[in-house]
């Protein structure tokens, strides 16, 4: 039996983009840094339908995603959201810098 989740009005729900609302392609990191990679990701339509309905019901839905600073990833992700989730306000999108390209010093 599936239980229905009830959200309180003061709750915030965050969804990741890469691999959650946008289908991730299992490619080398270098491929994900190429222009057009993020704009070309396919949407997870069922999840986007859920998010759209929740936004229309005035539920506090948010997007959380990271991006490379030396690529067009941030711009591409914003364009992707404009295309596939136009109902979400930019104030409900949190983008964090990805530091995965950094190497920690070894001792």
pLDDT in tens, 35-81: 999 999 999 999 999 999 988 888 899 999 999 888 899 999 999 99
Pairing mode, if any, of strands 61-67 and 93-97? parallel
Residue 66 DSSP label: E
Of 90, 75, 69, give the one whose Cα is nearest residue 36. 75
Rounded mean pLDDT, 6-30:
86
pTM: 0.81
Predicted pLDDT at 106: 63
Sheet order of strands, 13-16 included: 13-16, 61-67, 93-97
For 50, phi then psi, to 5°, come to -60, -45
Predicted pLDDT at 9: 66
The CA–CA distances, whole Å, from 86 to 25, 27, 28, 56, 101 equal 23, 27, 30, 11, 31
């Amino acid at each position: 039996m599936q239980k229905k989740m009830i959200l309180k009005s003061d709750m915030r729900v965050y969804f990741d983009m890469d691999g959650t609302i946008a289908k991730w392609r299992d490619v080398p990191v270098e491929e994900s840094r190429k222009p057009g990679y993020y704009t070309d990701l396919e949407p997870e339509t069922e999840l986007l339908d859920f998010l759209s309905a929740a936004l229309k019901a005035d539920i506090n839905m948010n997007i959380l995603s990271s991006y490379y600073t030396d690529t067009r990833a941030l711009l591409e992700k914003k364009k992707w959201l404009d295309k596939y989730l136009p109902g979400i306000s930019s104030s409900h999108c949190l983008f964090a810098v990805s530091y995965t390209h950094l190497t920690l010093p070894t001792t």
